[in-house]
Chains A and B, each alone.
Chain A
Amino acid sequence: MDLIWLIPVLPGIGAALNGLLGIRYFSKPVAAAIACATMGGALLLSIFAFAQLLGAEHREHVVTLAHWIPPIPLQTVDGLGAFEAPWAFRLDPLSGMMILIVSGIGFLIHLYSSSYMDHEPRGGYVRFFCYLNLFCFFMLTLVLGSTFLVMFVGWEGVGLCSYLLIGFWYHKKSAADAGKKAFVVNRVGDFGFVLGVFLIFFTFGTIDFREVAEAASQMPVESAAFGVLSTICLLLFVGAVGKSAQIPLYVWLPDAMEGPTPVSALIHAATMVTAGVYMVGRNAVLFSHAPMVMTIVAVVGGVTALMAATIGLVQTDIKKVLAYSTVSQLGYMFLATGVGAFGAGAFHLMTHAFFKALLFLGSGSVIHAMNDEQDMQKMGNMKLYMPTTFITMFVGALAIAGVPGLSGFFSKDEILAKTFVASPWLWGLAVVTAGMTAFYMFRLIFMTFFGEYRGPKWGGDAEGQADGDHAAAADDHGHDGAHVWHGPHESPKLMTVPLMILAVGAAVAGYVGIPPIIGDFVGVGNAIEHFLEPSFVAESAALAEEGEHAVAHLSHVVEFGLMAFSVLIAGLGIALAYHLYVRRPKRAVELAENWAGAHRVLTNKYYVDEAYNSTVIKGTMGSARGLWAVDRNVVDGAVNGAGWLTRALSWVSHVLDKYVVDGLVNLAAWICAEGSYIFRRGQTGLIQNYAVATLFGVFACATAFLVVRFMG
């Protein structure tokens, strides 16, 4: 367990190798091998660490790698506190589960990508793997970090990587814009998170998770007043809302579909969006001391779940459906944490990671087979061409719809049961969402894999297998023509094997969290809930509240009734989808026409993007323009005025200098020159002139002598 720091560092090394050397020198297989090997190493280490954690008595292990920020005295609420941040990693049940998810699913996605991205030129291919590795590096840092600051490093890092990967095809404007959107929207959330961390330090004088939890558990529960704990939780939740795509900051996630499909899988299943849920779970003690914020979390989660599900009902882009489904399922997770069922939220996070990765990779396989076509209206009857993809995706859809026996059933049912205890209204929302989820997932399955083939024609006849030698391929959407499309085909082994593994995971992952109603029959408890428990309570509180903590249990009859009802709803959703998209495809079109208004609102995603455009973006732009005008006229004006004044003054000074000061100096020189001219005339340099002068001098002397001698 002392080597857990290697788990994030390994993919980091892979990213550094591929990024610094690979883009220039490595061939495609080498780059993919490095990326997959580092992820595989991280996965192995995670498994070892997890196994050791299961065996350990004390379910918590902190490894301090190095000092990062030495203690700095900073003001806190009780005088000066020492702000320090070590590079410390924490392995406990929650982060143990997370590293398994991140490295496991991340590894499968790496494998899948090595085949999926094969059409990329070498540089782009290597760059892609560098980003993927970097993404996993930051996500693992995020989940393993032992203080808020280390977590924040990962938090910002995944934001950066999502930007890089969503905008991977940066020459496409829509992709570059989507990347920017993801980054900017996340930034709003990050701001809240940072403020929350500031306030945590100010309140508790530490940023270590465990110490904060211990300190918070000593404080009274703020059920009546909105105190400092509630403020902290609200700020942290703003961060989680940004990262985990909840109302009102969910808008970046559907746009993130512009990235390559494995990226969507990585963002939606293993990394990034789960960070918000993880962070709320990590601070469960804080949140459970702020019931008002918990209510907000639950309501936001429930409403997001329902809203995203309704949008998902009418989308025709296969990836958009899955994107809204992710938003909706994340809403579920927040709903669970909001009603205090942190374990259920984390459990759903895990099962969701399996089936959502599976669904995304499956849709990638379909898109690959359809030559980069994403519109489900142009697919159909794909089960004929790609049976493996069909079966695995079918399993995934069953799991997410909550069909009994598969993973989604267990986790979703647990959330529903816990929600029912807290608030029947939210339970109603969640059940309706569950029905919609079943409907749109099977709509996706039926539109893609059943019915008539509606896609473009290719060389050879439409029903039979592709005849490769016919050049008249249906290359009708501007593929670069480097390869000719031979019709839909099953994906290579490197892509289908991860699908199969994930399908198995999606099917059986739920059995670690069997609900009590069934568990009591077969004599197994809810393993995962019990396992995760230590992560959600403060150590001292864990012992004290052992019996009290458990929420009022539902009677078995009610719980069974709820379970049956949700299964019924899911079954109805599936049946409706079957009816509308397999048996009577025309009926769906008629429905859309009869309810044109509602349909339009849903297709346009409630016009949320437009609303943001006309309020937030226009407002920001307008105020920016206003400030710019102020800047240009007032600030620049002052600067320019100062410049002009200086110039004027210097001109005056220049004139004075030139005519007065220089004039005096020149005058002195002129006087000297003119004066010396007179004397210069005598200095002819001719010796005879001097001799004459001498002679006259002699005569003068002699004359004077004679005059004095003889006349005087």
Chain B
Amino acid sequence: MEITPAHYTVLSAALFTIGVIGVLVRRNIIIIFMAIELMLNAVNINLVAHAQQVENLVGQVFVVFVIAVAAAEAAVGLGIILAFYRNKETVNIDEMNVMRW
């Protein structure tokens, strides 16, 4: 069986959906973080697959950028989480409401 761009697209859509659901339903912020990574990588798969399809390297390059941005984002996000944990001793997103009115 030949792997077609449709397969990649479906895989990417499935991964993205899993990520969205993860962001929406989980309460642990680290899990949510991982779900966001999942969504990013779903987009990456899509980009790589379609770059292959149209034989254009711009897609490949863009993926590298996304990975780099994701790494930076993970670093900043984890830092915030760590600081928050030191203050509140929790990573539950329902309790992160100190900025509310």
Query: Interface of A with B (CB < 8 Å)?
Result: 680, 683-688, 691-692, 695
Contacts and interface: CB of A to CB of B under 8 A. Distances in A.
A688 B22 CA distance: 10
Interface string B21-40: 00111000000000000000
Given A695-B20, A695-B24, A688 B93 contact: yes
Give the secondary structure class of B's interface: helix
Contacts of A680: 101
Given A686-B93, A686-B94, A691 B24 contact: yes
Contact of B24 (A684, A685, A692): A692
B23 A691 contact: yes
A680 B101 CA distance: 9
A685 B99 contact: yes
A585 to B, nearest CB: 116
A685 B20 contact: no
B97 A688 contact: no
B88 interface: no
Contact of A683 (B23, B25, B101): B101
A691 B21 CA distance: 10
Contacts of B24: 688, 691-692, 695
Nearest to B94: A686
A691 to B, nearest CB: 6
B86 interface: no
Interface string B55-89: 00000000000000000000000000000000000
Contacts of B20: 695
Contact of B97 (A686, A692, A695): A686
A337 B94 CA distance: 117
B90 to A, nearest CB: 14
22 contacts: A680-B101, A683-B100, A683-B101, A684-B100, A685-B97, A685-B99, A685-B100, A685-B101, A686-B93, A686-B94, A686-B97, A687-B93, A687-B96, A688-B23, A688-B24, A688-B25, A688-B93, A691-B23, A691-B24, A692-B24, A695-B20, A695-B24
Contacts of B25: 688
Contacts of A683: 100-101
A684 B99 CA distance: 10
9 closest A-B pairs by CB? A685-B100, A685-B97, A688-B24, A691-B23, A692-B24, A691-B24, A687-B93, A695-B20, A683-B101
Nearest to B29: A687
Given A684-B100, A685-B100, 5 more contacts: A680-B101, A683-B101, A686-B97, A688-B24, A691-B23
A692 to B, nearest CB: 6
Contacts of B99: 685
A193 B25 CA distance: 111
Contacts of A686: 93-94, 97
A658 to B, nearest CB: 31
Nearest to A695: B20
Nearest to A685: B100
A695 B19 CA distance: 12
Contacts of B23: 688, 691
Nearest to B23: A691
Nearest to A689: B24
Nearest to A683: B101
Which of A680, A683, A685, A695 gathers most chain B CB within 10 Å?
A: A685
A357 to B, nearest CB: 101
A683 to B, nearest CB: 7
Nearest to B21: A695
B50 to A, nearest CB: 19
Contacts of A692: 24
Nearest to B27: A688
A699 to B, nearest CB: 11
A633 to B, nearest CB: 66
Nearest to A698: B20
Contacts of B100: 683-685
A227 B32 CA distance: 121
Contacts of B97: 685-686
B31 to A, nearest CB: 12
A685 B20 CA distance: 19
Contacts of A685: 97, 99-101
A692 B94 CA distance: 15
Contacts of B96: 687
A435 to B, nearest CB: 116
B60 to A, nearest CB: 27
